[in-house]
Amino acid sequence: MWSLLGAVFILGQQATSQETPFDADKAYRDALNWRPDWQPRSKAWVDYMDRRLAQIARISDTQQKWDGFLVAMQQGIFVQNYTERGWAVVDCPEEVYRPLYDAFHEAWDSGQRNYEGVVDQVHCEDEATGDTNSACRGGRQSWFVNTGLNRQVLDGLLPLHEEWAQASLLPSIAYGLRVYQNGSSLTMHT
C-alpha cells in the first residue's frame, strides 16, 4: 500500500509535466512496475480512473491526497461498477422533477435561500492571488435552498437507483439543493 501511495506522488509529478503528454502506462511502470486493474476494464473507465489518480496526485494537502487515493482505489477496483463510465445520464421522472422545479423557483424567487457556511469542497478563485484552490468566502459561497421535498425526491428516485444498482436499496439521505455561483467549483471529495 505504501508503494502505491508513493506512486500517487510520482504520478502527480509526471501528470503535471508540461514537456510531454501524460502517459499513464509509463507512469505506473516507472513508479510501481505495476498498473491498477481498474474494474471494469473498458477504455472509458480506465482512462477516467487514470485521470482521477493523476488529479489526486496534484492535491497539495497530504490528508486530502490520502483520502482521495483511498476513495480512488475503492471506486476503481473494489466496488462493482454498473456502467462503462461508472455513471450514466438519465431523464428525471416528471413526477419528481416538476414539484422540485416549482418548489425551487418559488423559494428562490421569494428570497428563501441562505448562504452556506464555508464548505471546504466548494472552491472559488481568490481575486487577490488568483488561487483556485481556496474555499469560497465573503458572499461568494453557494446558496442552500430548502424546498421541503428531500424525502419525496429521494423516494421518487429510488426506482432509478435500484435499476442501476440491480439491487434493492434503502434510502438514507438527501441533502437538498445547493446553488453555486459563477466561477465556483465542487472538488472531488469523500
DSSP string, 39-57: SS--HHHHHHHHHHHHHHH
- State percent of the chain over pLDDT 90: 16
46 vs 118: CA distance, rounded Å = 34
Q: Highest mean pLDDT: which of 108-112, 152-156, 180-184? A: 152-156
pLDDT (tens digit per residue) in 42-99:
888 888 888 888 888 888 888 888 888 888 888 888 877 777 767 778 899 999 999 9
Cα of 69 vs its chain's centroid, Å = 13
Minimum mean pLDDT range among 9-18, 68-77, 128-137, 169-178: 9-18
For the record, the C-alpha cell of 175 comes out as 441533502
32 pLDDT band, cuts 50/70/90, is low
CA distances from 157 to 64, 80, 103, 182 (A): 31, 20, 17, 28
pLDDT at residue number 189: 66
pTM, rounded to two decimals = 0.60
170 pLDDT band, cuts 50/70/90, is very high
